[in-house]
Amino acid sequence: MQDIARKVGVSPMTVSRALRDGTSVNTQTREAIRQAVEELGYVFDSTAANLRQQRTGFVAVTIPSINNANFADTVRGLSDGLKVHGLQPLLGYTDYDIDQEEALVEQLLRRRPEAIVVTGGQHTPRCRRLLESAGIPVVEIWDLPGQPVGHVVGFSNAAAAGMLIDHLVSTGRTRIAFIGGEAGRDSRGADRRAGFIAAMQRHGLDATRLIAAGVPPVSMLEGAAATRALLQQAPDTDAVLCVSDLVAFGALTECQRLGIAVPDQMAIAGFGNYEVAEICVPPLTTVNPFPEQIGRQTAATLLSLLGLSADNLPQNSKISPELLVRASTLS
Amino acid sequence: MQDIARKVGVSPMTVSRALRDGTSVNTQTREAIRQAVEELGYVFDSTAANLRQQRTGFVAVTIPSINNANFADTVRGLSDGLKVHGLQPLLGYTDYDIDQEEALVEQLLRRRPEAIVVTGGQHTPRCRRLLESAGIPVVEIWDLPGQPVGHVVGFSNAAAAGMLIDHLVSTGRTRIAFIGGEAGRDSRGADRRAGFIAAMQRHGLDATRLIAAGVPPVSMLEGAAATRALLQQAPDTDAVLCVSDLVAFGALTECQRLGIAVPDQMAIAGFGNYEVAEICVPPLTTVNPFPEQIGRQTAATLLSLLGLSADNLPQNSKISPELLVRASTLS
DNA sequence: GTGAAAGCGCTAACAA
DNA sequence: TTGTTAGCGCTTTCAC
């Protein structure tokens, strides 16, 4: 700024003013400064401004995996909602591991974000403490934690799984299996599994057809392998609920390879409303958790909490996932 | 730090030292400081350190879309490679638009990253100038620009498309179509399209079966719609090359819905080696551009350029995409 | 509309 | 091993 000030013949303070909107600077002076900026190739140093203003414009965001269309949609909704107000997401991923989450949260907080968004409601004790004492808005998403740290934009994964089981049972299926990741890591997956068990018991059905398909994120190939295992262990299974549409699609392809008719011999349901579930043949019954809406709503919540928006939103927004019944479960 | 210094009875400078590794501080003093940090819930302020040290630990990264498994894999490889050296990616997406790229690059440079990675080699003139004069290493990835700004980790999208056409022609296909996004936005997609045309002409074949499937990112549903359009316009088509596996999968499902046998009546090839292409029935012929390797190699290049690694890498790494021939093109 | 002084929270450099 | 001084590049505050 000093270089520009010298060049234009003003003080650095005037340059600082000219570079911001809503400040009173002589129009010609401002224009001259704009020009000098271009000529000198000056790029504003926001690290210095951040320190002085004690505002970084960062919103820290942790997601389990960057390579997941559901979370990517959430990040997009969040990003787009924040961008208008000059806020920028500072993204990190945890690999579905709460110890990595702790390390990540600590690292992110050092950057002095103005708010933090974490996926899930399960944290290490130290991570919880860090979040609580950070002195910034905290939003937990994609879950409905029993003891939320701050605000919540999410839904019950267990209840959503229950919806799918209710549907399967209502269409006459009784020997229903669940394919998911190994317990303990992906807490949303674990909740869906718990929701499966609870719903099955509610219907008086056997809830022991549980297949662990590997370490989260469980994907299409593992879904196919798990389906093979399932059909060996329990060949009379007539329906399978998968922890995600990706796993469900893997199951569908395995059935196709094995000559098992879907939905006639086997009903398949997934979770997440991934694009593949809509377009595959037959299309997969699933639940839409509205990932992008989670992001947008989180952005709205944050803007309200940060006093950047007039709307006074309800700061805990429950998302209502939608059951999408498609041909994969309709015989 | 002053609070901690007071509490422990040392100067802030000693606290600063105690909080870093490789500094000489009395073991007991260091321990006392660690404890005071915990008790007071102090979190290091890296914005201040960044300003003082003129080092942020950020590496700016632009990708076209966050919701794309290929780019996500690249980001993961890059992230993991940088993490070990304390560098953190600062991610933004351009929506396949070079004007948005310009705005994003400018915004990212204000954060004073230590290097910048941009996807693609096509930029607005101003964006190019910004990158050139940023005074930090620049790496262009996923492409082989004619006039690179700095370093490159990529491959020729046109040549990769040519490999697929050569394969289709070698299996006897002649009436081959291309489905991609509307020209002008996704430059890698446009390169694949150009590679398709060049390869077809090389084989003396008609290269006019070009279907535009909408604004990038083109996805499964649009791939299916484009396939319907293709079959109306040119029902005698015997093979189709798609700009990505996602589009190709959409095409496959459309053929299934229309009762067109793949590969017997129609060969389908994609691009990117997405998981869906490996597992679907029949699996899709594609090209693997090794997205995660692009990320890892970019990280290695940067570490070398930043003097953080001893290896003196060749700083322009050409990735060699691999042709994966699968059942979707083998009749 | 403009400028001077001070300081955000850290650390490099030097001194002890 | 520890402390003092100065300053990173901005912006707040106050004065003119």
CA-to-CA distance for A193 and B112, rounded, in angstroms?
45
What is the DSSP annotation of B15-43?
Answer: HHHHTSSS----HHHHHHHHHHHHHHT--
CA-to-CA distance for B119 and A60, rounded, in angstroms?
23
- Cβ neighbors of B63 (< 8 A, separation 6 or more) are B71, B74, B75, B91, B92, B93, B94, B119
Q: Is the CA virtual torsion B6, B7, B8, B12 positive or negative?
A: negative
Residue tagged 């996500």 (tokens): B72
- Axis crossing angle, helix B291-305 with helix B69-83, rounded to the nearest 10: 30
**Which residue type, as a one-letter code, is found at position B278?**
E
Å from B182 (CA) to D6 (C1')? 58
A275 contacts on B by Cβ (under 8 Å): 219-221, 246
Q: Which nucleotides of C are covered by protein (CB under 7 A)?
A: 1-5, 7-13
- Tell which residue, B90, B129, B88, has the closest CA to residue B107: B90
CA-to-CA distance for B330 and B167, rounded, in angstroms?
10
pLDDT at A211 over 90: yes
B59 contacts on A by Cβ (under 8 Å): none
Burial label, B121 (beta-carbon count in 10 A; 0-12, 13-18, 19+): buried
Å from B49 (CA) to D7 (C1')? 12
pLDDT at A125 over 80: yes
A279 contacts on B by Cβ (under 8 Å): 220-221, 224, 249-250, 253
Element (H, E) at B53: helix B46-53
Q: What is the number of other CB atoms lying within 10 angstroms of the CB of residue A204?
A: 8
The answer to whether the Cβ–Cβ distance between B47 and A112 falls below 8 Å is yes
CA-to-CA distance for A84 and A140, rounded, in angstroms?
22
The residues with which A92 forms a beta bridge, in sequence order, are A62
What is the pTM assigned to this prediction?
Answer: 0.96
- Tell which residue, A73, A80, A65, A70, has the closest CA to residue A215: A65
Residue of A nearest to B127 (CA): A41
**pLDDT at site B210:** 97
Tokens representing A315?
């700061």
CA-to-CA distance for B254 and A280, rounded, in angstroms?
9
B250 contacts on A by Cβ (under 8 Å): 279
Test mutation, A66, A90, A328, chain B, max B CBs within 10 A: A66
Fold of B2-44: 434 Repressor (Amino-terminal Domain) (1.10.260)
Query: Which CATH superfamily groups domain A52-155+291-319?
Result: Response regulator (3.40.50.2300)
The answer to whether the Cβ–Cβ distance between B221 and A110 falls below 8 Å is no
- Axis crossing angle, helix B245-258 with helix B220-233, rounded to the nearest 10: 60
CA-to-CA distance for B171 and A37, rounded, in angstroms?
59
Low-confidence ranges of chain B (pLDDT < 50): none
CB-contacts to strand C (7 A): A 10-11, 13-14, 17, 24-26, 29, 48, 51-52, 54; B 1-2, 12-13, 16, 19-20, 44-45, 48-49, 51-53
**Which residue type, as a one-letter code, is found at position A295?**
G
pLDDT at A236 over 70: yes
A69 contacts on B by Cβ (under 8 Å): 67, 69
- Tell which residue, A289, A212, A203, has the closest CA to residue A247: A212
The answer to whether the Cβ–Cβ distance between A76 and B66 falls below 8 Å is yes
**pLDDT at site A331:** 86
CA distance B225 to chain A (A): 11
The answer to whether the Cβ–Cβ distance between B275 and A221 falls below 8 Å is yes
The answer to whether the Cβ–Cβ distance between A66 and B56 falls below 8 Å is no
Any idea which of A158-172, A268-282, A308-322 has the lowest mean pLDDT? Answer: A308-322
CA-to-CA distance for B267 and B330, rounded, in angstroms?
7
CA-to-CA distance for B102 and B42, rounded, in angstroms?
38
- Cβ neighbors of B258 (< 8 A, separation 6 or more) are B228, B231
CA-to-CA distance for A222 and B94, rounded, in angstroms?
32
**Which candidate from B44, B249, B281 shows the least CB-CB separation from A256?**
B281
| CB of A110 within 7 Å of some strand D atom | no
pLDDT at A311 over 90: no
Å from A296 (CA) to C11 (C1')? 40
Phi/psi region, residue A204 (left: phi>0; alpha: psi -120 to 50; beta: rest), is left
Alpha helical stretches, state H, chain A: 2-8, 12-18, 27-40, 46-53, 69-83, 98-110, 125-132, 157-170, 187-202, 220-233, 245-258, 275-279, 291-305
B40 contacts on A by Cβ (under 8 Å): none
Q: Where are the domains of chain B?
A: 2-44, 52-155+291-319, 157-288
DSSP B314: -
CA-to-CA distance for B19 and B22, rounded, in angstroms?
10
**pLDDT at site A310:** 80
Contact of B157 with B192, CB cutoff 8 Å: yes
A76 contacts on B by Cβ (under 8 Å): 66-67, 93
B47 contacts on A by Cβ (under 8 Å): 47, 50-51, 56, 111-112
The answer to whether the Cβ–Cβ distance between B43 and A246 falls below 8 Å is no
Å from A53 (CA) to D12 (C1')? 9
**pLDDT at site B310:** 80
Fold of B157-288: Rossmann fold (3.40.50)
The residues with which A212 forms a beta bridge, in sequence order, are A180
**pLDDT at site B185:** 87
Mean pLDDT in chain A? Answer: 96
Taking the stretch 24-83 of protein chain B, residues with Cβ within 7 Å of any atom in nucleic acid chain D are: 24-26, 29-30, 48, 51-52, 54
B52-155+291-319 has the same fold as B2-44: no
CA-to-CA distance for B280 and B220, rounded, in angstroms?
13
Q: What is the CA radius of gyration of chain A?
A: 25
Q: Which nucleotide is nearest to B2 (CA to C1')?
A: C9
Test mutation, B279, B281, B292, chain A, max A CBs within 10 A: B279
**pLDDT at site B311:** 78
Contact of A241 with A161, CB cutoff 8 Å: yes
Chains A, B: CB pairs < 8 Å = 107
**pLDDT at site A314:** 66
Q: Which nucleotides of D are covered by protein (CB under 7 A)?
A: 1-5, 7-13
**Which candidate from B43, B45, B276 shows the least CB-CB separation from A220?**
B276
**pLDDT at site A240:** 98
Q: Which nucleotide is nearest to B20 (CA to C1')?
A: C11
**pLDDT at site B314:** 65
Residue A184: pLDDT band by 50, 70, 90 thresholds?
Answer: confident
**The CA-based dihedral angle spanning residues B43, B44, B48, B51, taken in that order and rounded to the nearest 10 degrees:** -140
**pLDDT at site B174:** 98
CA distance A72 to chain B (A): 5
pLDDT at A316 over 80: no
CA-to-CA distance for A69 and A60, rounded, in angstroms?
19
Contact of A292 with A74, CB cutoff 8 Å: yes
Burial label, B21 (beta-carbon count in 10 A; 0-12, 13-18, 19+): exposed
The residues with which A151 forms a beta bridge, in sequence order, are A139
**pLDDT at site B265:** 98
The dihedrals phi and psi of B178, each to the nearest 5 degrees, come to: -125, 130
The answer to whether the Cβ–Cβ distance between A280 and B253 falls below 8 Å is yes
